[in-house]
Amino acid sequence: MFVQTSYFRCTLILILSFCYVHSARILGVFQYPSISHQVVFQQIWRELSLRGHDVVVVTPNPLNDPKLVNLTEIDVGSIKNLISAGDDLQSSMSKDSPTPQIMKAFYDTSLVLQDAIFKDKQFNAIYNNSKEKFDLVMVESHHPGMYSLAGRFDCPSIGISSLGVVIPIHGSVGNTNHPVLYPDMNLPVHSNLNVFQKIYSIYNSIFLNIYYDNWVMKQSDEIARKYLGNDIPYLGDLANNVSFLLINTNHIIHTIRPHVPKIIQMGQMHIRKPKPLPTELKTLLDNAKNGVIYFSLGSNVKSVNIDKNLQKIFLETMADLPYTVLWKWEADALENKPNNVITRKWFPQQDLLAHPNVKAFVTQGGLQSIEEAISREVPMVGLPFIGDQPMTLNKLSQAGVALVHDPVTVTKEELKSSIIKVATDPSFRRNIHKAKIELEDQPETGLERAVWWIEYAIRHKGAPHLKSPTADVKWWEFIFLDVILVLSLAMFIFLRLAKFLYNILSFIPKEKQY
Ligand SMILES: *[C@@H]1O[C@H](CO)[C@@H](O)[C@H](O)[C@H]1NC(C)=O
Ligand SMILES: *[C@@H]1O[C@H](CO)[C@@H](O)[C@H](O)[C@H]1NC(C)=O
Ligand SMILES: *[C@@H]1O[C@H](CO)[C@@H](O)[C@H](O)[C@H]1NC(C)=O
């Protein structure tokens, strides 16, 4: 009887919470026009709409799938021109620039994109309509400006990143930010820093925090107010009030670091079962009896954009390899193309890497490419260019699944010998197989986890009860400045007192002599 009642109660609660979640109306704004980022967010908004939520998404890369009847996509694809107009961002984000310079270039672009998206007519019709209501706002966490929408609609927010997040964003939810133990994602080293790396990491961390809180937030807040009016809370407070940060990191590819409960690690969001290759490509791979090297620098770096000298090194290396080389070369023609090299502007990368004849993957080390390589068990030769690429490749090389070279200094001989080593030495295959099974041994998929916590935020109207007290710790408390000050004061008083007593004591015998 008791069992039955509680069973009934449970079922009722389940149905009620299910119904409640069902009615949720969700707004997502994903502003960065790069498909390798958007492909992560796409999975989330597709899944939420399939679960019956009413989802409105602003994105430069809509799915345009007529089967998704509960999804409204506002296409802001035109903002792509704001980036590719100059490849300045690319060169200014090079890993050889100082991190502060990289961050400045990144956030300058972020603000331009934020403004352009607010200007969009279709989006304006939504945020400027006083009758519109949302239960949750999803924001790309690297671009905090859109947290303003949580203020506009007075609802909880979720921040999502297609990679890790920078130090100030970790700090916003109270993650410990010890710069020597957990360097920023854009620094090339993740552990065992030498003393110069420690000094640089501390400097970088202080710069980032000050710059982010006092410049990025203020500028973004001003832009938001231009469009949403002055009735919203300060953007910095809205960003710090995020319910969950869904980040795309894991313990195999990334630095291991402690996380507060508001951090949810997703992972392998865009990985799916391999699809059959187009016939012509399949034949080509089947016939490549010596094996295939797949060469791609991803959708942001792009082989056509890199230094001519490096292109020449690539070509000479490829010509010298005893393999067929498939090169993602984003132009129609390629001068002096060796006979064993086949170029395409685009390859179905996930499916291609699943072909058994692919021996090695030469990559810039973008996170989505690395996830694909691990999933398909193809060891890598890494040439990191920007952002998190140096750090992740550094970790993978320690795990014995990749050999890494600096694209600025790499020579033809080094590149050739690394490619041959990765393609022939069985230890790389063994290690990447191990990395794959360790990575995939999880209670649920990254997408299931992401959607669970998004619906959790809807069910509980945010997650203020999960806020870590560390989120409110001031920097001077973090480095014990208050404690040091009190102890110094106590020491000072003690010393003065001791001196005073000493003076009195030495005064007494003098009196006697007198
Ligand atoms: C659309 O949402 C409704 C409930 O709101 C749900 O029953 C239906 O399955 C959803 N359809 C699709 C195709 O996602
Ligand atoms: C928002 O709507 C109001 C009228 O409802 C209008 O006066 C205002 O110009 C609109 N703002 C923008 C940015 O479109
Ligand atoms: C923070 O979020 C909670 C729940 O989402 C909300 O009730 C509260 O008003 C928010 N506070 C601020 C300052 O935005």
Predicted confidence (pLDDT) per residue in 30-47, tens digit: 999 989 899 999 999 999
pLDDT at position 234 over 90: yes
Closest Cα to atom 7 of ligand 2 = 128
Ligand 3, residue 150: give the atom nearest the CA. 14
49 lines ligand 1 (CB under 6 A): yes
Q: Is 63 in the pocket of ligand 1 (CB under 6 A)?
A: no
pLDDT tens across 155-191, in order? Answer: 999 999 999 999 999 999 999 889 999 999 988 888 8
The more confident residue out of 369 and 89 is 369
Binding pocket residue ranges, ligand 2, CB within 6 Å: 124, 128, 227
Atom number in ligand 2 closest to CA 227: 13
Closest ligand 3 atom to the C-alpha of 243? Answer: 5
50 CA → ligand 1 middle, Å: 6
pTM (global) more than 0.95:
no
DSSP-derived secondary structure for 442-509: SSS-HHHHHHHHHHHHHHTTS-GGG--GGGG--HHHHTTHHHHHHHHHHHHHHHHHHHHHHHHHHHHH
Residue nearest to ligand 2 atom 13, measured at CA:
227
CA-CA-CA-CA torsion sign (395, 396, 399, 402)? negative
Q: In this predicted structure, what is the pLDDT of residue 100? A: 80
Residue (of 165, 137, 171) closest to 151 by Cα position:
137
Give CA–CA dist 286/236, Å, rounded: 55
3-class DSSP string for 421-461:
HHHHCHHHHHHHHHHHHHHHCCCCCHHHHHHHHHHHHHHCC
CA 156 / ligand 3 centre spacing (Å): 7
- Sheet with 263-265, strands from edge to edge, namely 71-75, 54-59, 25-29, 136-140, 157-160, 244-247, 263-265
As a whole number of angstroms, the distance between CA 449 and CA 75 comes to: 27
Q: Residue 306's pLDDT is what?
A: 84
Residue 91 confidence class, pLDDT cut points 50, 70, 90 = low
Give the ligand with the smallest distance to the CA of 157.
3
Cβ burial, residue 496 (10 Å; 0-12/13-18/19+)? exposed
Chain segment 295-354, per-residue pLDDT in tens: 999 887 778 888 888 999 999 999 999 999 999 998 888 888 999 999 999 999 999 999
CB of 35 closer than 8 Å to CB of 369? no
pLDDT at residue 21, rounded to an integer: 53
Query: Across 31-183, where does the E strand assignment appear?
Result: 54-59, 71-75, 136-140, 157-160
- Nearest atom in ligand 3 to the alpha carbon of residue 151 is 14
Which one is predicted more confidently, 131 or 91? 131
- Tell me the two tokens of residue 465: 């009860």
CA count, 13 A, side-chain hemisphere, 118: 23
Ligand 2 atom index nearest CA of 118: 13
The b-or-e profile of 57-90 (16+ CB within 10 A means b, else e) is bbbbbbbeeeebeebbbbebeebeebbeeeeebb
pLDDT of 485 strictly over 80: yes
Report the atom number in ligand 2 closest to the C-alpha of 226.
13
User: What is the C-alpha separation between 27 and 47, in angstroms, rounded?
Assistant: 14
Ligand having the closest approach to the CA of 226? 2
Q: Return the residue whose CA atom lies nearest to atom 6 of ligand 2.
A: 128
Share the mean pLDDT of the chain.
90
Tokens of 356: 């058994």
65-87 residue pLDDT tens: 999 999 999 999 999 888 754 44
pLDDT at 441 exceeding the cut of 90: yes
Terminal CA-CA length for the chain: 100
Residue 251 has pLDDT above 60, yes or no: yes
Q: List the residue whose alpha carbon is closest to atom 10 of ligand 2.
A: 128
Ligand 1 pocket member 204 (CB < 6 A): no
Do 168 and 208 form a contact (C-beta atoms < 8 A)? yes
pLDDT attached to residue 44: 98
Q: Is the CB of 240 under 6 A from ligand 3?
A: no
Separation of CA 151 and ligand 3 centre (Å) = 8
Q: What is the CATH number assigned to the segment(s) 23-268+446-467?
A: 3.40.50.2000
Name the token pair of 233.
């809370």
Percent of the chain exceeding pLDDT 70 equals 92
Closest Cα to atom 11, ligand 2: which residue? 128
CA–CA dist 45, 450 (Å, integer): 11
Cα–Cα distance measured from residue 39 to residue 62, given in angstroms and rounded to the nearest whole number: 10
**Of all atoms in ligand 3, which is nearest to the CA of residue 156?**
5
Note whether 397 and 420 are within 8 A (CB): no
pLDDT of 133 higher than 80: yes
Ligand 3 within 6 A of 237 CB? yes
Residue 10: per-residue pLDDT: 46
Determine the distance separating the centroid of ligand 1 and the alpha carbon of 137, expressed in angstroms.
20
Task: Work out the average pLDDT over 484-511.
Answer: 89
* Predicted confidence (pLDDT) at residue 501 exceeds the cutoff of 50: yes
Judge whether residue 390 has pLDDT over 50: yes
CB 176 within 8 A of CB 222: no
Distance 138 CA to ligand 3 centre (A): 15
- Strand segments (E) across 319-379: 324-328, 341-344, 358-363
Q: How many residues does the chain have?
A: 514
Please give the distance, rounded to the nearest whole angstrom, from the Cα atom of residue 149 to the centre of ligand 3: 12
Q: What sign for the dihedral angle of Cα 292, 297, 299, 303?
A: negative
70 CA distance to ligand 1 middle (Å): 6
Closest CA to 348 of 384, 423, 296: 296
* R_g of the chain, CA atoms, integer Å: 27
> What one-letter code names the amino acid at 244?
F
pLDDT given at position 19: 43
Residue that wins the pLDDT comparison between 96 and 449: 449
Cα of 415 from ligand 3 centre, angstroms = 53
pLDDT value, residue 95: 61
The residue among 207, 262, 227 whose CA lies nearest residue 151 is 227
CATH class of the region 279-438: alpha beta
pLDDT at 129 (0 to 100): 95
